Amino acid sequence: MNKPSYVINLCKSCGLCIHFCPTKALQFGEERNNKGHYYPIVDYAACVGCGTCAVVCPEAAIDMLKGEE
């Protein structure tokens, strides 16, 4: 399964990835990136690797890493 990988310092905290994640696997954490924005944390147990978060992110802060299966 593919997994989202976040370049946290590109995130601008828009929340689109969180809004569109079909399994609610994303939520903002409690830490800010180097621009002062809160960034999402992935619950990998809930993530189904659909890639929606990577498609909707306007900052291209999310890459999908190829998984083994």
With CB under 6 A as the contact rule, the residue among 32, 41, 49, 63 that binds ligand SF4 is 49
- Within 8 A by CB and 6+ apart from 8, the residues are 33, 39, 61
Q: What does the block give as tokens for 64?
A: 């999908």
Q: Fill in the amino acid letter for 35.
A: K
* 48 belongs to the binding site for ligand SF4 (CB under 6 A): yes
Q: What does the block give as tokens for 13?
A: 């905290």
* 61 belongs to the binding site for ligand SF4 (CB under 6 A): yes
* 59 belongs to the binding site for ligand SF4 (CB under 6 A): yes
**Contact pattern for ligand SF4 over residues 14 through 43, marking x by CB under 6 A:** xxxx---xxx-xx------------xx-x-
